[in-house]
Structure 1
Amino acid sequence: MTFALQLPLTPPAPDAWIVDPDTVPEARRELIPRYGDKRWSVLALTQNPTVADDFIYWSWFPEPFREPMRHAAFCLINYPVTMGFVFQHGAPMRSKLSSGRIYKTVHHWSMFAQWLADRGIMQLAAVTQEDLAEFASYLGKTRSLARNTAQSHLIALSRLHHFGVRFLPVPQQLVEPPWLTEGVDDYLPAASSKGENGYEPISPATMGPLLVWALRFVEDFAGDILNGIEEHRSLSAAARALQRRAQPGEAAAFSAYLEALTASGEPIPVALGEQWGKNAIPGVYLAAKTGTPVNTVYNVLKNSRWRHYMQANPGPCLLETPVTATLGGQPWHEPFEFASFPTLFKHLVTACFIVLAYLTGMRPAEVLALESGCCPEPEGPQDGAGKHLIYGRQFKGAKDEDGNHLSAGVIREAPWVAIPQVVTAVRVLERFVGDDEMLFAAVKHDARTVNVRAGRSLSLATISNRVEGFIDWVNDYAEGRGRDSEVISADELGRVGIARFRRTLAWHIARRPGGLVALAVQYGHMRTLVSEGYGARSRGGIHDLMDFETARSVAEHLSDVHEALQDGNGVSGPAARRLIHSAAQGHERFGGMVTTVRQARSLLADPTLNVFENKRAYLICNYDRSKALCHPSRSGKSETPSLDRCRSTCANIARTDSHAGQMREEAARLKAQATSAVVPQPIADRMRERAEALNALASQHHTERITIEKGSG
């Protein structure tokens, strides 16, 4: 059936397509719903490979509103809003929406329709501006929605009004919302943290071992797992090739195979484990191993003789792939078992995602959309001085020439810098997928969704759940092998998810000396290359997040110092007076809290507030580039100190009473350790020297410390 644009006020026929098939890629045309369907899939409206399988269910709507809002949704999908409407709402408004935003808009309409029905209002034309104002209050005060979410609801109603006036009969038109003429601010809850800054970093106790285990999978275990999955695929393919009617003699041949097992007392391979039931028949495995059709395997094993023998003598379905990698000097895994092996491969894919998402700073959708060949071998200095680069798509902010969202995304102008561990993760995935395929293609990594996710990646929800499954597997594995110290601790804020990786990376880069990703340093690999790569290619990357976390750290240090001074503590060092002044100014302006990128930029732009704590050296750097000894030339453009190159004679150094206390504690620990009989004498001597130096610095601090009068600013 061809698609024809309907006249205003006239809804389409029930069997009409909801969108012109010629505007949809051929692979997705079968997903286009009919106008009268009970549910509409939005998958045909997007080319983003990561979108969820969302459906608009018309049962959401009370009956009086169902058909008017179905017609409005059709108009929302097919017609842009007028430019006057766009200008009325300002820069955030788009003339046409993405599939995800269409889904949310119609969902917002259903919530509004139910709210009306609960109040006995059964027609859109009966809604007054006072009703809309009451609904806006309901969103904030009763539903306690965040400001951005409440605004999304109000914009959805603005669109409903707009399309009603243009395309719907008068009884189905919504009155003009009051916020279109009066401004939306008075109808919204108070502002709060938004965007990526609203996600809390993953705790170090969780992120540390999670990254270590992900890297173990990618760097150490991947070879074994990839070899095993190739054997698994080969066996599965052999079994599929035998899906035919049994040939004469095949049942007898399989029975002879079983006779040979019983004669030698060998077990019959079965699918072991609670998830398979008690001694389930592994039809695919036995079919591939014996060349017998699967149906014949099942039929023969139904014989009571073999069934009883199988129950009494069960054996594993082992792959021939050897386990070559080790952990702690022992094979990292027992021989691989056929039925459970796909789960192990799934965890390898998840580990690759964790490495890519955390160590590049990509957004989850950007990782999932990467394609084979995205990380070519560097050709020379023009590709980042020999560094590997990753070329991929970005979806956030991808717009066409009219400012509308491009669901397919756009190629990112500045590629991501890839450190060696990231390159390894890409190469692992490339071994499994074909050329020009997505690294996380659903048809390769999720057999359940082959028919509905062709040409698409694993969904965001699926990979998020797999991260939690990876953590559970690792913890069971570690506890089962007596490696309790390597268990991934539960994060106090709940699920790790996938959206928190970018924020966590920025947090660690901003808060570790020298911009190191400290969690990876403990694994012995990465150093300043990470932050250098981001600094050089910040456009569209995580530069704002890094600034945000750096500013939060600075604001917290300043406020802590200010409060300590108010409590009678002192500060020493060449930069002591500057630190006291900076702490007072920073505390007055920010109160120890930075909640927006704008605040972060304001703080970092003020040279008097450039305060960075170096916990390893027990000091605070009140950074002044012209005096910094960590940058000897002092002619560069570094806006932050290199805290891994602190010099004791630097004019930017200041210490607090807390630092002095920490130095004495460390000195006492070193002295106690030096007395141990197992410590070699030269090392013990160095420990005592270090302890004496720390005690001397602590004594110097108490001699030279400066305090302020209690209550002064």
Structure 2
Amino acid sequence: MTSPHPLPDLVGDLPVTPASLVLHARELHPDTDRTSLSRFSDPTWDLFPALPDRHSPNQAIHWDLYPAPFRHACKLYIFALLNVIEHPPRLAYAHTVVPSVKTIWADLGYLRRFLSWLTERGVTAFADVSTADLDHYLRHVTDDATTSTTIKRKALLAVQRLHAYRSFLPPPCRLPAAPLWGGASAAELAEHPDPRQAENRTPRIHPDVMQPLLSAALLVVDTIAADLLPAARRLIQLRARALQLDPDNIARQRNNTGSRWYCAHDQLALVLKSLADTGHPLPGLRQGRNVTVDLAGLAVAGHVDGELLRKGCFAQLIDGSGLPIVPDLLRTNRFTATGSRPWRHQPADASEIVRLIRHITTACFLVVAYLSGVRTGEALNLGRGCVTRDPKLALIFLSGQQLKASADRRERSPQTIPWVINEHSAQAIAVLENLSVSTRLFPPGKWGSPEWLGSSRCRTTGSINDDIRAFITWFNTEIAPAVDHPVIGADEHGTITGRRLRRTLAWHIVRRPGGTVAGATQYGHLHTQLVTGYAGNAASGFLDEISFEEFLLRAEQLHDDHQRLQHGEHVSGPAADAYRHRVAAGHHFAGRTITTPAQVNTALANPNLQIHHGVLLTCVWRPETAACQDTTTSAGQTGPAWPRCRLTCTNIAYTDRDITEIRSHIYGLQADLADPGLPHPLRQRIQQRLDEHHRVLAEHPAGQPHTHTDPLTGSHP
């Protein structure tokens, strides 16, 4: 007598068998090998194919980590999270209808915590969990004084999600039907601030650190990379070919299986044959008048055991190849001077070039991620051919994977929503395309490894952060002293990471310290470029960064203005009364907590915040009376257009700070007038400007700036 075949479990309307695909309903990345997708019965589920990006670390569920009594039920639950996409339950504050793979992954650790707690209490099935058990777990989590409210919220959220999906699971896998914990959200139960109101706490990189860091990255991209690229390209091409000759032999070397001598002999024989077939010479070294084989370079390029090569074990094999030898094929001997000194004096051999490639790649990342405004993951996911140029528009476009994209934007081609970048970023990407044989510009793994050659993935956020730290140490130790470049100092907020670059760019665009990016590109021009393309789209999130920085700057200035008025600063000009009124009414914004883009935009629209400090005057902006308002070109203008500023405008006020700047400007204009060769029309315009400046000085209280002590710095203006 045969036993009946067991009926499959049902998750919603989906029958689940041991052969069911785990990612049955998920959109998969185009690079996915569909023959290797995980099945329900597998001991490990690989979720990486369902990630839209390639820079995330491997996200695999190892089921042996879960308590055995709950293992099958948890598999069914996670299967439901992944595949129930029609009318799934939605928790409070959820950003998407269906939880993302990253959200599911983030829940797993907290789910295991709940399972361990149940197991310790002798509960071995979800159907056996009582309402009292759930209340005890709530107290267990919330009464822990050593745990932050963030961790408490996430621990409770994992249980709430499990409860929300109960109707999609078989009866033995369901928690009690009663409303969980009175229907309160996890944030309320944990007394955690509303996640939607969370402030962007990513710290900016201090200007005194960012300036030398960007300058260093540009120096490496423009100068050091140019010196090394010829030899580096040959080295990379040879290494890529060597890895493809006999992958099985490479795997044996990697896993230390088989004879070390035979593996090296077979690999070298294949490399020499490949060089002969393609007409390539052997790399060589100059030793006096003789040229010998560069054994170290051949070992690196050919993935051959360098120790055995140096011992001469394969000299007969090399000599018998009959290949010509070209000196310095895989070496760099000449280095460009930066200022009066070259950045390096000793030749760079193949091993050294490999080390320097890592730092060049990091420099390219810093330039691209900072000057383009892209997120760290968006930069790491860039692929070959991502830059295009439009000669008619005179713009350079960067296309790639936009993260945190809504469903409607994901349906569009990345080429239709590109970033607009400057020449520095384009040059950095050109260097990256020379340093990689992969389709990815930031391939994963160690240089020259099989993963580096053929993986569809890219570097992770953690690995690029490690590279940034190594880059700073290398530059400060080896390059800065050699070329008399300022060192990259320690930042007051801690380690420099890729995530901090985007926030820092927004600060620099708004504040524009010194007005330039490493003395090369104006921040105003960079701002115009960025908002032209995808970065200027509200969906990119970059304009939110700009708005936050604009509000912070405006609030700080209002606080400063109020302090100066309190300490006796004079104000003159047609808008002087309006200036004093707005400062008195608006200085309290300096202490307001702003947590959302909507709050920022509302605050920035407040008339009391519309005080804009220029170079020689202050604009108390009022659109109805603004002389710079141009109805034909400035629709939606929300502040002064400084290039169209008119000194007859009734929005102008002059503070003591402005008067100090005007006096300095007068000295410069008077020096220009002293030039006997000055053309008459220009002399007239300068004299007119001097007359206007003198009128302003005469109308300012006491006829001169009030010499008070700066309340912030303790110095005189």
| Matches of 1:355 and 1:362, distance apart in 2 | 11
Q: Indicate conservation of the 8 Å contact 1:287/1:297, yes or no.
A: no
One-letter code of the match for 2:526? Answer: V
> Please, which runs of 5 or more residues in structure 2 have no aligned partner?
1-6, 246-263, 273-283, 316-326, 676-688, 708-717
CA deviations on 1:156-183 (whole Å, 9 max, x unpaired) are 3232113334314346525555367355
Partner of residue 384 from structure 2, selected from 369, 372, 376: 372
One-letter code of the match for 1:143? Answer: T
Confirm or deny that 1:362 pairs with 2:374.
yes
Confirm or deny that 1:531 pairs with 2:527.
yes
> Please, which runs of 5 or more residues in structure 1 have no aligned partner?
251-259, 271-281, 304-315, 675-680, 683-688, 708-713
Alignment length, in residue pairs? 627
Confirm or deny that 1:476 pairs with 2:477.
yes
Alignment of 1:506-517 (within 5 A): 506-512=506-512
Partner of residue 424 from structure 1, selected from 423, 427, 440: 427
> How well do the aligned residues superpose, as a CA RMSD in angstroms?
4.8
Q: Indicate conservation of the 8 Å contact 2:300/2:306, yes or no.
A: yes
Per the normalisation by structure 1, the TM-score is: 0.73
Q: Indicate conservation of the 8 Å contact 1:509/1:531, yes or no.
A: yes
Mean Cα deviation higher: 458-467 or 60-69: 60-69
| Matches of 2:699 and 2:482, distance apart in 1 | 48
Could you say what secondary structure the match of 2:79 adopts? helix
Q: CA deviation at 1:450?
A: 0.6
Which residue does the alignment assign to 2:276? Answer: none
Which residue does the alignment assign to 1:309? Answer: none
Question: Cα distance 1:421–1:634, how it changes in 2: closer, same or farther (>3 A)?
Answer: same
| Matches of 2:125 and 2:505, distance apart in 1 | 51
Partner of residue 206 from structure 2, selected from 203, 207, 226: 203
Question: Cα distance 1:127–1:529, how it changes in 2: closer, same or farther (>3 A)?
Answer: farther
Q: CA deviation at 1:223?
A: 1.9
| Matches of 1:261 and 1:49, distance apart in 2 | 40
Q: Percent same amino acid among aligned pairs?
A: 27
Q: CA deviation at 1:47?
A: 4.2
Question: Cα distance 1:646–1:486, how it changes in 2: closer, same or farther (>3 A)?
Answer: farther
Which residue does the alignment assign to 2:467? Answer: 466
| Matches of 1:121 and 1:567, distance apart in 2 | 70
Could you say what secondary structure the match of 1:534 adopts? helix
| Matches of 1:204 and 1:238, distance apart in 2 | 44
One-letter code of the match for 1:330? Answer: R
Question: Cα distance 1:227–1:173, how it changes in 2: closer, same or farther (>3 A)?
Answer: same
Q: CA deviation at 1:569?
A: 4.9
Q: CA deviation at 1:602?
A: 0.7
Q: Indicate conservation of the 8 Å contact 1:206/1:488, yes or no.
A: yes
Confirm or deny that 1:518 pairs with 2:506.
no
Q: Indicate conservation of the 8 Å contact 2:227/2:335, yes or no.
A: yes
Could you say what secondary structure the match of 1:50 adopts? coil
Confirm or deny that 1:544 pairs with 2:560.
no
Mean Cα deviation higher: 198-207 or 528-537: 528-537
Q: Indicate conservation of the 8 Å contact 2:233/2:434, yes or no.
A: no
Q: CA deviation at 1:7?
A: 3.0
Question: Cα distance 1:634–1:198, how it changes in 2: closer, same or farther (>3 A)?
Answer: farther
| Matches of 2:74 and 2:634, distance apart in 1 | 61
One-letter code of the match for 1:326? Answer: A
Which residue does the alignment assign to 1:394? Answer: 402
CA deviations on 1:447-489 (whole Å, 9 max, x unpaired) are 4571897212222222222122221211112454273x61111
Partner of residue 220 from structure 1, selected from 218, 223, 229: 223
| Matches of 2:115 and 2:241, distance apart in 1 | 55
Which residue does the alignment assign to 1:639? Answer: 638
| Matches of 1:136 and 1:468, distance apart in 2 | 37
Question: Cα distance 1:643–1:195, how it changes in 2: closer, same or farther (>3 A)?
Answer: farther
One-letter code of the match for 1:331? Answer: P
Q: Indicate conservation of the 8 Å contact 2:297/2:349, yes or no.
A: no
Question: Cα distance 1:196–1:486, how it changes in 2: closer, same or farther (>3 A)?
Answer: farther
| Matches of 1:319 and 1:432, distance apart in 2 | 14
Q: Indicate conservation of the 8 Å contact 1:361/1:502, yes or no.
A: yes
Q: Indicate conservation of the 8 Å contact 1:200/1:500, yes or no.
A: yes
One-letter code of the match for 1:244? Answer: D
Could you say what secondary structure the match of 2:613 adopts? strand
Could you say what secondary structure the match of 1:80 adopts? coil
CA deviations on 1:125-177 (whole Å, 9 max, x unpaired) are 435353364366358x652234xx76555443232113334314346525555
Which residue does the alignment assign to 1:109? Answer: 111
Which residue does the alignment assign to 2:22? Answer: 18
Q: CA deviation at 1:350?
A: 1.6
CA deviations on 1:584-613 (whole Å, 9 max, x unpaired) are 332345635533312210122223421233
One-letter code of the match for 1:285? Answer: L
| Matches of 2:95 and 2:305, distance apart in 1 | 60
Q: CA deviation at 1:297?
A: 1.9
Q: Indicate conservation of the 8 Å contact 2:240/2:437, yes or no.
A: no
Mean Cα deviation higher: 538-547 or 175-184: 175-184
Which residue does the alignment assign to 1:161? Answer: 163
Q: Indicate conservation of the 8 Å contact 2:55/2:377, yes or no.
A: yes
Could you say what secondary structure the match of 2:389 adopts? coil
| Matches of 1:701 and 1:413, distance apart in 2 | 57
| Matches of 2:43 and 2:413, distance apart in 1 | 34
Q: Indicate conservation of the 8 Å contact 1:65/1:123, yes or no.
A: yes
